[in-house]
Amino acid sequence: MIFLLDVNALVALGFANHEFHARVASWVKAQDFPPMATCSITELGFVRVLAQAPAYGVGVAQARTLLRRLKQAGQPVFTFIVDNHDVSDLPAWVKTANQTTDGHLAGLAAGAGGILATLDRRIPGAHLIPG
C-alpha cells in the first residue's frame, strides 16, 4: 500500500517544529516504513506553507532543502506520483471549492493504487493518521 501524504501531513512529517510532527512521525514508523508518496501539489504545498507562515521562519529555498532531505533520507522511502488527472477525475463527493484539492489528491492516490493519508477527518475514503 502506498500512502500519498496530503500537504498538512507532509509538512508535519518534514518540519520537526510542526505541532503534529510527533503524531505523523510515529504513524509512519508504526507502518514499518511502507512507501510514502508525494506529487506536484503536495510538494508545492509543502514549500508554500512553510514559506508563507512567519512563525516557521523558513524561506522557499530552506523549504525546498527540507523536503529534499526528507525524501532522500530513505526512511520512509518516497515515491513520486505523476499527476495525470484532470477535473473530470474529481470524485462525486466534491461539492465545494474547499474540497477540490482533497478530492483531486484522493483520486490521484487511488489511481496509483494507494490511499491519501491525512490529518483531516473530513475527506471521504482517506486514511486518517491517528492522534
The Cα–Cα gap between 71 and 121 comes to 26
Taking alpha carbons only, the member of 65, 20, 74 closest to residue 47 is 65
Query: How far is Cα 11 from Cα 27, in angstroms, rounded to an integer?
Result: 14
On whether the CB atoms of residues 36 and 76 are closer than 8 A, the answer is: yes
Domain count, the chain: 1
Residue-wise pLDDT tens digits, 82-126: 999 889 888 999 999 999 999 999 999 999 999 999 999 999 999
Containing structural domain, residue 121 = 2-128
What CATH code is carried by the domain that includes residue 30? Answer: 3.40.50.1010
Q: What is the pLDDT of residues 52-78, one digit of tens each?
A: 999 889 999 999 999 999 999 988 999
For residue 42, the SS3 value is helix
Other CB atoms within 10 A of residue 108 CB: 23
Full-model pTM: 0.94
